[in-house]
């Protein structure tokens, strides 16, 4: 994810983070739940939201860590959930690599087919995604089936 402070703020990102995954699941290091911060203010905000979430929901596995050098994952990890749907990749003429990694549409569809997003949200966003009817129908079915992604 690219963080654009002119479009949102760190507090909003933290809210999205806590509301859109289960931070109580313990995963291996490569799939761990983590919040990275770049300065003391971000660290304070991350730790505050961590405490609030843990008080409400119980023991959290999420780590709060300083941001250091970041390395992109290998291509086969990029848009991993979407790559389980070759029909969509073929229809959009996307192969693993830079085109897939940098595609906004692929990013959005990765979330929907992974169970992150509602049918109503998809329908609202659909005109901006510019999908043909077959791909839209396929994504609707994927959303209806749901996902059991954990780690």
Domain assignment present for residue 1? The answer is no
- The structure tokens listed for 8 are 């949102």
Same domain, 124 and 81: yes
Coil/strand/helix, residue 36 = strand
Q: What is the largest CA-CA distance in the chain?
A: 48
Length of the chain: 151
What does the alpha-carbon distance between residue 43 and residue 145 come to, in Å, rounded to a whole number? Answer: 37
Give pLDDT tens digits along the chain (151 positions): 667 888 899 999 999 999 887 888 888 887 889 999 999 999 999 999 999 999 999 999 999 999 999 888 888 889 989 999 999 999 999 998 999 999 999 999 999 998 888 999 999 999 999 999 999 999 999 999 987 666 6
Same domain, 94 and 140: yes
Domain tally, the chain:
2
Range of the domain at 24: 10-66
What does the alpha-carbon distance between residue 84 and residue 82 come to, in Å, rounded to a whole number? Answer: 5
End position of a domain, from candidates 66, 87, 110 = 66
Domain assignment present for residue 5? The answer is no
Domain assignment present for residue 3? The answer is no
Same domain, 92 and 128: yes
């Amino acid at each position: 994810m690219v963080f654009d402070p002119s479009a949102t703020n760190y507090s909003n990102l933290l809210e999205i983070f806590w509301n859109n995954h289960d931070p109580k699941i313990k995963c291996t290091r490569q799939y761990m739940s983590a919040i990275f911060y770049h300065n003391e203010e971000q660290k304070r905000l991350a730790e505050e939201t961590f405490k609030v979430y843990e008080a409400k929901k119980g023991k959290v596995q999420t780590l709060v860590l300083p941001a250091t050098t970041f390395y992109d994952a290998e291509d086969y990890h990029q848009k991993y959930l979407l790559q389980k749907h070759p029909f969509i990749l073929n229809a959009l003429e996307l192969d693993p690599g830079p085109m897939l990694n940098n595609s906004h549409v692929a990013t959005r569809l990765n979330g929907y087919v992974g169970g992150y997003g509602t049918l109503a949200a998809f329908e609202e966003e659909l005109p901006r995604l510019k999908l043909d009817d077959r791909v839209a129908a396929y994504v609707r079915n994927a959303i209806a089936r749901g996902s059991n992604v954990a780690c």
